[in-house]
Structure 1
Amino acid sequence: MKLRNGILGLAIGLLMGGVSYSAFADDASTFVYADAGEPSTIDPAKANVNWEFTVTRNIYDRLVDFDLSDPSKLLPALATEWKQDGKVWTFKLRDGVTFHDGTAFDANDVKATLDRLLKIGQGQSYLVDDIASVTVVDPKTVKIETKAPTVFLASNLSRIEMLSDEDIAKHKDDLGQAWFNENANGTGPYEFVSWTRGTQIELKRNDKWWGKFPEKPFDRVLDRFVTDGANRARGLEGGEFDLANFVPLDEALRIGTSSGFHLVEGNNLWAWPAIYLNMDLAPTNNKDFREALVKAFDYNAMVQSFQGKAEVGRGPVPSWFPGSPEKEEAEIKTDLDGAKAALAKSGLANAKMKCSVPAGFPEFRFAATVLQSSAQQLGVTVEIEEQPFVEAITAIKSDKSNCFVLGNANLSPSDATKFFAAHYLKGGFYNSGKFFDQTLQDLVAKLPTISDPTERGKLLKQAADIVVDSHYIIWTARPKTVVPEPDRIGGYRIDPAEYINARFWEMYSK
């Protein structure tokens, strides 16, 4: 038994409890963050969107971290060293780490966390679903055996937050889901204080954290739920918020170049958006017809919509990702003559198709309209239907739609196979158009077993080529992530292997 030292959006107004937002933002010890939504859960085993990760990433720690400027370089966190021997990985844990309730962190917490994550099977569990067993060797040593050798386990563990085994045991009836959905007890830089539904989550700095804060860190964080992008931009510019997520690009560029602000730019998104074409439903079940759509698409219109802060991808894996074959791939560009030739070969002149677009994403809607106008030049009619996300993805999966628009990002700093599994392999949740290629299945299974980076790179190129040559995806654009930051704030960095949010422990008041 471990010893304890303690105990553990929708509409938003300009005032709360009689104190204005700007009063909080003017307090140098309090950081006010305008997030684009309210979490449905703060359980690390289930968190899966930006505004959930905003909370979990800052409350909990992970075994391994990585260098944001070089994602292939892993860094110690709760584990100080690790090694691989075939299917077995051994991790040595950091001494002197405690949870926010005073409980000591040890190997039992690692085992309980991973066992629970894999049983629940949601959120980021796909990153470590190749784990076969977790064994506690001693309080500071844990062994993890995988189903097959994988060089990516440590890298993927950089995304898995560690929980207290005592919390899990105390709330074991439902694997702790009800409790962890709205409570938190981590080892990380910030502690959970409260959740005011529809308004904010409050955090406070953990002054006993094992890590290092910058000078003038923020003692208090208010994570505000501001669903309207214009309100986030207005609040940031007016000083009500210290930082805001998903500020509309035109506003981000205007604010970031105005007095008192600067722009932070970085790589993050793999495609925004990508258009998935239904491989089972006519007319998109015809490869030549899909090729016609890919070649007819107006990529320049998409890049211009991002005001030049974007490029056209040459395939699924961006050039800045470790081991990417992007530079070896052929350029993808508009080729109307080639599109007309492909359409003629398909024999599907004057075809009609439907495209499902998740509501609430202007870029998704714009990409669909670009597809519509591009296809019209071929005599092809595209009907656009905006729906809530679940309904939109269900429409293509149930063969009621020919295409689906989705954003692409990868949570692993160096493992592309998990992204491929989710988007291009049989059974993958985002493989909405039901793409299948046995050679690709085999390549994705083989890649993690190869220790030589050069050989892995060759296999990754083969995998990327299969997806490109299938014409399953239209990668409409790969934009830069652009975030306006007030000059009074420092430390914000864009994580290349993350859905966009903020690492509060790195930020400081100037």
Structure 2
Amino acid sequence: MRLSTRSLLPATALAATSALLTGCFAGAESATGDQGDGERVRLAMMQPPRSGLSPLTDDAFKLSRWSTAETLVKLDADGNAVPALATKWRQSGRTWTFEIRDGVTFHDGTKLDAQAVVRSLTRAAGAAPKPRILDGVEVTTKAVDADTVTVTTAAEDPLVPQRLSSPQLSILAAKAYRGKSVNPLDAGTGPFELTKVNGTSSASLDRYDGYWGGKAKAPGIDVRFVPDGTARAAALRSGEADIVEAVPVSQAALLDEDLITEVPMPRTNTLYLNTGKGAFKDASLRAAAREAIDAKSIVEGVYEGRADVAQGLLGPALPWAAELRTPVQRAKAGKADGETVTIGTFTDRAELPEVAATLQQQLQKAGFKVKLDIREYANIEADMLAGAFDAFILSRATVLDSGDPAAYLYSDFASDGSFNIPQLADTKVDAAVTKAGETRTGETRRKAIIAAEAAVLGTDAAVPMLHERVIQGDAAGVVGAAHDPRERELVTADTYVK
């Protein structure tokens, strides 16, 4: 086991955090009374539901990770669309036609058909706010016959199948839509049926024996929401949980290495430099900041080696990026000469304030005078987007909901991008990110995405430092838990506890 540079957790703290979980999973049994097919999977999750598990919000990813709600399309490891509730599809201009899988029933026993798909996708398209994956996209869904639907967009969109893979576009039974909010209880099509939700504390799922893809190996799942990372790690050590998501870096070294898995995430820790005003309006000073950053020391010191030094904006979770990337031409570095800059970041991700402190030292060594402004994300986002800082440190998901980086590159670096922290206005970047978004999926699109990445990196508006890993804990008896860099899968039909 690796030794941690941090102090070990006192025994009293271990006892206290373990006590938080003691009894949480005790006495859990399937509502169906099914026994004899192994143990129920006890799952400790990081974030409690924010919107009553509505699939139109980020809570959709919980439904996906529990294998209770499903979409028309899934993504393979390379981000390509593959069949799920739809078996095949074809494009004709602005319209895509999808064939619906036969023999699928919802957990309430009703049948999946074209009208059910239209109902779910129409509700999502008309939601306020819309699911992120439909931001700026007009979608109309119609039933052609009982087994066929068409999805039409206002402009031709090569990414429609990938968009439909988003957990926020899950297909649910009619009963889910009877109220103002969407209720996923007993309404999905997955191998596990959501049977009970206790607010923000717990949830229960039972195996759905009528699942179209075959009977799940575990009789059910018992979920507890444990926001405290120390308590989640303690639950794995004490045997109170079988699977623990998002083990903090500070706790990983205290666990048996055989129980943890590090998965490269499509998430990059990046220093955004304000190109619109202040010191970093000068390209040579942006270059000086880039050259001053020692990402390796941040990975080793702050992340204890549990991250990957960035070579670009897109990391090892997208292996094709490294294969296509070529050297980027950048401006020559100037001299800081005591220029004062303010770096902002937030406390919600525990490592970011430490990253900020390390960067402060590195930039000061290069001749900058550096001030830090660190707050909770909710209290700093508006200033960040308004360009109030000379630089901002952000841990940013680079594939968003479609599994495709083009939308991220546009939102973060196009002149009219909705998340343009560096206030970048560069015609070459605009052209490159627009082309990437319009190119058909496959190798040609990937090359266009890498060209767009190169255009961004050439401006030094963003300095990618490291790619994060998600650390997942699986008890010794767990078999078949998913280790998904997109965090869409966790417990699947093949997961069980010996």
TM-score normalised by length of structure 2: 0.84
Q: Give the Cα separation in 2 of the matches to 1:183 and 1:484.
A: 27
Deviation at 1:307, TM superposition (A): 3.5
Amino acid in structure 2 at the alignment position of 1:201: A
Deviation at 1:241, TM superposition (A): 0.9
* Structural mapping, 1:266-285, within 5 Å: 266-271=263-268, 273-285=269-281
**Superimposed CA distance per residue, residues 355-399 of structure 1 (whole angstroms, 9 cap, x where no aligned partner):** 222213222112211210111112212222221112222122234
Structure 2 residue runs without a partner (length 5+): 1-15, 30-34
2:97 counterpart of 1:100: no
Aligned length: 471
Kindly tell me: are residues 140 and 45 of structure 1, through their superposed partners in 2, closer, same or farther at Cα, counting changes over 3 Å?
Answer: same
2:192 counterpart of 1:190: yes
Number of the residue aligned with 2:3: none
Number of the residue aligned with 2:178: 170
User: Matched residue of 2:333: which SS?
Assistant: helix
Q: Give the Cα separation in 1 of the matches to 2:471 and 2:20.
A: 29
TM-score normalised by length of structure 1: 0.82
User: Matched residue of 2:125: which SS?
Assistant: helix
Q: Which stretch of structure 1 is more off in the superposition, 279-288 or 80-89?
A: 279-288
Q: Which stretch of structure 1 is more off in the superposition, 356-365 or 368-377?
A: 356-365
Q: Give the Cα separation in 1 of the matches to 2:210 and 2:232.
A: 33
* Structural mapping, 1:465-484, within 5 Å: 465-484=454-473
Kindly tell me: are residues 209 and 508 of structure 1, through their superposed partners in 2, closer, same or farther at Cα, counting changes over 3 Å?
Answer: same
Number of the residue aligned with 1:65: 74
Number of the residue aligned with 1:369: 357
Aligned residues of 1:15 and 1:21 also touching (Cα < 8 A): no
Q: Give the Cα separation in 2 of the matches to 1:123 and 1:506.
A: 33
Deviation at 1:431, TM superposition (A): 2.6
Kindly tell me: are residues 362 and 475 of structure 1, through their superposed partners in 2, closer, same or farther at Cα, counting changes over 3 Å?
Answer: same
Give 1 or 2: higher helix fraction.
1
Number of the residue aligned with 2:8: none
2:444 pairs with 442, 455, 459, which one? 455
Number of the residue aligned with 1:408: 396
1:207 pairs with 206, 209, 213, which one? 209
User: Matched residue of 1:396: which SS?
Assistant: helix
Kindly tell me: are residues 331 and 263 of structure 1, through their superposed partners in 2, closer, same or farther at Cα, counting changes over 3 Å?
Answer: farther
**Superimposed CA distance per residue, residues 15-71 of structure 1 (whole angstroms, 9 cap, x where no aligned partner):** 78x94546659x9532221111211111111226xxx52235432111012334x43
Number of the residue aligned with 1:224: 224
Number of the residue aligned with 1:155: 162
Aligned residues of 2:108 and 2:186 also touching (Cα < 8 A): no
Deviation at 1:141, TM superposition (A): 0.2
Q: Give the Cα separation in 1 of the matches to 2:353 and 2:20.
A: 34
* Structural mapping, 1:74-473, within 5 Å: 74-120=81-127, 122=129, 124-126=131-133, 129-160=136-167, 161-164=169-172, 166-167=174-175, 170-171=178-179, 176-177=180-181, 179-180=182-183, 185-213=187-215, 217-257=217-257, 261-271=258-268, 273-305=269-301, 306-321=303-318, 323-324=320-321, 327-330=324-327, 342-344=333-335, 349-409=337-397, 410-412=399-401, 414-451=403-440, 453-473=442-462
User: Matched residue of 1:495: which SS?
Assistant: coil
User: Matched residue of 1:301: which SS?
Assistant: helix
Amino acid in structure 2 at the alignment position of 1:61: E
Number of the residue aligned with 1:39: 49
Aligned residues of 1:321 and 1:414 also touching (Cα < 8 A): no
User: Matched residue of 1:422: which SS?
Assistant: helix
Q: Give the Cα separation in 2 of the matches to 1:412 and 1:34.
A: 23
Deviation at 1:407, TM superposition (A): 1.6
Q: Give the Cα separation in 2 of the matches to 1:359 and 1:267.
A: 22
Q: Give the Cα separation in 1 of the matches to 2:428 and 2:325.
A: 20
Aligned residues of 2:409 and 2:453 also touching (Cα < 8 A): no
Deviation at 1:75, TM superposition (A): 2.8
Q: Give the Cα separation in 1 of the matches to 2:215 and 2:351.
A: 37
Kindly tell me: are residues 359 and 426 of structure 1, through their superposed partners in 2, closer, same or farther at Cα, counting changes over 3 Å?
Answer: same
User: Matched residue of 2:97: which SS?
Assistant: strand
**Superimposed CA distance per residue, residues 239-272 of structure 1 (whole angstroms, 9 cap, x where no aligned partner):** 0111111112253244242xxx44433332331x
Q: Give the Cα separation in 2 of the matches to 1:452 and 1:236.
A: 41
**Superimposed CA distance per residue, residues 210-240 of structure 1 (whole angstroms, 9 cap, x where no aligned partner):** 12345xx332322212111111111111101
Aligned residues of 2:279 and 2:339 also touching (Cα < 8 A): yes
Kindly tell me: are residues 166 and 208 of structure 1, through their superposed partners in 2, closer, same or farther at Cα, counting changes over 3 Å?
Answer: same
Deviation at 1:327, TM superposition (A): 4.9
Q: Give the Cα separation in 2 of the matches to 1:501 and 1:77.
A: 14
2:39 pairs with 18, 29, 34, which one? 29
Deviation at 1:353, TM superposition (A): 2.1
Amino acid in structure 2 at the alignment position of 1:188: G
Aligned residues of 1:322 and 1:414 also touching (Cα < 8 A): no
Deviation at 1:444, TM superposition (A): 3.2
**Superimposed CA distance per residue, residues 435-486 of structure 1 (whole angstroms, 9 cap, x where no aligned partner):** 2334433433333543474433332222111110111222121144332322
Amino acid in structure 1 at the alignment position of 2:87: T
Q: Give the Cα separation in 1 of the matches to 2:422 and 2:408.
A: 15
Kindly tell me: are residues 13 and 361 of structure 1, through their superposed partners in 2, closer, same or farther at Cα, counting changes over 3 Å?
Answer: same
User: Matched residue of 1:440: which SS?
Assistant: helix
Deviation at 1:183, TM superposition (A): 5.3
Kindly tell me: are residues 254 and 500 of structure 1, through their superposed partners in 2, closer, same or farther at Cα, counting changes over 3 Å?
Answer: farther
Number of the residue aligned with 2:63: 55
Number of the residue aligned with 1:6: none
Structure 1 residue runs without a partner (length 5+): 1-10, 333-337
Aligned residues of 1:314 and 1:331 also touching (Cα < 8 A): no
User: Matched residue of 2:281: which SS?
Assistant: coil
Q: Give the Cα separation in 2 of the matches to 1:453 and 1:92.
A: 22
User: Matched residue of 1:111: which SS?
Assistant: helix
**Superimposed CA distance per residue, residues 133-167 of structure 1 (whole angstroms, 9 cap, x where no aligned partner):** 22210111011123333332212312243344734
Amino acid in structure 1 at the alignment position of 2:389: S
Aligned residues of 2:352 and 2:393 also touching (Cα < 8 A): yes
Deviation at 1:426, TM superposition (A): 4.2
